[in-house]
Chain A
Amino acid sequence: MKKKNVIIGIFVILPSIIAIAIFVYGFISWTVRVSFSNWNSFSKLLRGVYKFVGFRNYERLFQDTRFQTDLWNTLFFTIFFLFGAISLGILMAILIDKGLKGSKFFQNIFLFPMAISFVVTGTVWSWIFAPGTLPANPQGLNLLFQKLGLDNFMWGWYTSTYSLGKFNVALIAVIIAAVWQLAGYTMAMYLAGLRGIPNDIIEAAKVDGASEWKIFWKIKMPLLKPITLSALIILGHISLKIFDLVFAMTGSGPNFVTDVPAIYMFELTFRSNRYAMGSAIAIIMLLFVAIVIIPYLVSSMRGEK
């Protein structure tokens, strides 16, 4: 009987093993292969005329000023997006966890952006941050600033080409939209974590005379560590491969100030037919995500043992 169960079990998962082997790992290896070739036109692709050029595509990419901008943008976007979404998420979770009147209502409001796709978020925020023809005809948020008499706050938002060192200030608008979208989700994760902390620990600490502040930092935060790790992984991999939000919101901006690798990859592959270069970017992005995911997998596997 038991043996039969094992056989059925294998039979049941076999289709997905085969599908994953072909459609995930097979295609990843195919992409790696293409990234080492010179398949840079549609007709070459069709005729199968290509040769292997080693790391040439990668070399060209790292010398490409647009790709350099992309890498810096990814770095800054990831740092500020993770910081913004997680700190705002914790703050909202704590406030909701207090159980004040109407907190259920706000919980839903904060969570709601999650239900909207990045494309919609991008479109809406692109209206809000549309600068208008400054200074005469401001739009969106700039119009609000003008009405309030805060003329100094009006600026070009995601169309600004100003940069502080390697940080393009136009990214700020994109980061705000991304944080808006995912802070609620982070809040939900922390809220679940906070509700999972047994009350008697907190009560015991209170009896010992610990302040709210101390309880939060010394007891709650350490217990929420797994949540923080999950949030970092989930938000981190979203930010490394972000595409739709930026594409809908800024279309990569003037002089590519808000460009990201995924957009460059899409344009190289599907607009210019430069498949080899596109594949090289795809592989670089895969490696970035792997750097984030693999330590997590290792630690969780250790945990299971």
Chain B
Amino acid sequence: MKRFIIVLGIMFIAFGMVFAAENALEIFSWWTGGGEEEGLMALFKLFNQYYPDVKIINAAVAGGAGTNAKAVLKTRMLGGNPPDSFQVHAGMELTDTYVIPGLMEPITDLLKEVGAYDKFPKALIDIVSYKGEVYSVPVNVHRANVVFYNKEIAKKIGMTKEPTTWTEFLMYLDKAQKMGYVGIALGDKNKWTSLHLFESIMLAELGPEKYNKLWKGEASFNDPAIKRALSIMKDILKYVNADHSALTWQDATRMVFEGKAFSNMMGDWAEGYLKTLGWKPGKEFGWFALPGTQNAFMLVSDTFGLPKNAPHRENAIKWLKFLATVEAQDTFNPIKGSIPARVDADKSKYDVYLQWSMKDFSTKAISPSIIHGSAAPEAFATALMDAINKFVTEQDVNKTFKEILWIAEDNDYLID
């Protein structure tokens, strides 16, 4: 019995020692693969150059575009065991899930103090704000509404200039199909990709102004433009690969690389993927904004926030200040294959595609993405995702439109 108590005592002390790592900083993210993990490591290294005595704990959770990590994070936040800072998509994913329940600390003053507040585009600051206070630091920006295409196939089908209207685009898709290629590759095994495509079409038909108003309750979902978007989606689906539901987005992007498909509509992480496969932007592959969205930038932005009761709050603040610097943003983004959220970053560090994207980011209208958690609460996004997935199979425009109205109503977005 005595020995047992001694063993128990030693276990407790050891336990305590592990968790009392005094000068630590726990960073939670879902960056575990490819360029994103390398980028994160580069950030950690740079951070340690400034603060060599802070020990960084990398609490990354792998899998499924962050879905697994989000579940883990929710459990930790609920259990009162938050990490010091965590990755979260700008917008409702942050606001609805963590800010409104009062789990986050505002960091407006922090950004003002380091002179970074006005270095982000106003539309982006709006997305990470709630009731006038900023709640997270945007680190990178991805553009969602981009079509990447195989230049060799483009030449074969006689495409001399990038299409700007649906008629032109559909004509090229048709030509590609007639020559034995898949017009537009889709990989919707993980479901979100079909909503990714649809939300960009919706943005094209509504226009960025009306689209952005939807989320503020200033525009109605009961809009013929949404129905039009569904019909366009139906037209596009004629040129999609038959095995789309067996593939992931990487598989779909790969079809463009392998010369099986003419194009792929995907966020610009696909550009990073094509580069890792060995292609050079502008040489083997080209890109254009999805027709109708040339004047809009569908934004996906990763940000880091400050949870209340962060165990190492001082270090977390150092981390957030650090992320807001040009140096940190220019270290991370060229590796990850995204553009910096700050508009005053060094353009020469980025490739042709990213420079194009940076130019558009500072000049075009910024719209939040639904499926990537920026525009609407997760309940809305997942319900819409299910509806669009049924649509991909059934292709019933009226039925899906009705369902979209129901989902909007369920989430208090229907205003008439």
Contact = CB atoms under 8 A, between A and B. Distances in A.
Given A131-B246, A137-B260, A159-B245, A42 B97 contact: yes
A272 B260 contact: no
Interface stretch (A14-22, A23-31, A92-100, A250-258): A250-258
A274 to B, nearest CB: 6
A255 B96 CA distance: 28
A12 B340 CA distance: 59
A273 B70 CA distance: 11
Given A126-B246, A131-B243, A133-B260, A256 B67 contact: no
Interface in B50-86: 67, 70-71, 74, 78
B389 A256 contact: yes
B62 to A, nearest CB: 13
B245 A253 contact: yes
Contact of A273 (B103, B188, B379): B379
Contacts of B394: 255
B290 interface: no
B386 interface: yes
Chain A, interface size category, equals: 35 or more
Given A270-B71, A270-B74, A273-B378, A66 B386 contact: yes
Contact of A133 (B241, B245, B382, B389): B241
A157 B242 CA distance: 12
A229 B408 CA distance: 49
B232 interface: no
B383 A272 contact: yes
B115 interface: no
Given A41-B377, A133-B182, A46 B246 contact: no
A270 B70 contact: yes
Contacts of A63: none
Nearest to A170: B245
A130 B382 CA distance: 26
Given A42-B101, A272-B382, A251 B190 contact: yes
A159 B246 contact: yes
Contacts of A261: none
Contacts of A157: 246
B378 A271 contact: yes
Interface string B276-305: 000000000000000000000000000000
A156 B393 contact: no
A156 B242 contact: yes
Interface string B368-380: 0000000001110
Contact of A272 (B102, B243, B378): B378
Contacts of A272: 378-379, 381-383
A45 B393 contact: no
B413 to A, nearest CB: 14
A139 B241 CA distance: 13
B96 A43 contact: yes
A219 interface: no
Contacts of A40: 379
Contact of B389 (A47, A126, A255): A255
Chain B, interface size category, equals: 35 or more
B158 to A, nearest CB: 22
B25 to A, nearest CB: 25
B71 A43 contact: no
B390 interface: yes
Interface string B168-198: 0000000000001010000011110000000
A129 B382 CA distance: 27
Nearest to A254: B245
B100 interface: yes
B46 interface: no
A270 B102 CA distance: 20
Contacts of B191: 251-252
A132 interface: yes
B236 interface: no
Contact of A255 (B102, B244, B393): B393
A15 B389 CA distance: 48
A271 B384 CA distance: 12
Interface in B207-255: 241-247
A43 B100 contact: yes
Interface string B247-274: 1000000000000100000000000000
Given A133-B260, A156-B242, A251-B189, A42 B382 contact: no
B189 A250 contact: yes
A251 B383 CA distance: 16
Interface centre among B102, B188, B189 (most CB of A within 10 A): B189
B393 A134 contact: no
Interface centre among B182, B243, B382 (most CB of A within 10 A): B243
A243 interface: no
Interface string A207-245: 000000000000000000000000000000000000000
B244 to A, nearest CB: 8
A136 interface: yes
A274 B379 contact: yes
10 closest residue pairs by CB, A with B: A255-B393, A254-B245, A46-B101, A43-B101, A272-B382, A270-B71, A159-B245, A272-B379, A251-B189, A131-B243
30 contacts: A42-B74, A42-B101, A45-B78, A46-B103, A129-B246, A130-B243, A130-B246, A130-B247, A131-B242, A131-B243, A132-B243, A133-B241, A133-B260, A134-B243, A156-B243, A159-B246, A161-B393, A250-B189, A251-B191, A256-B386, A267-B382, A270-B67, A270-B71, A271-B67, A271-B382, A272-B379, A272-B381, A272-B382, A272-B383, A274-B379
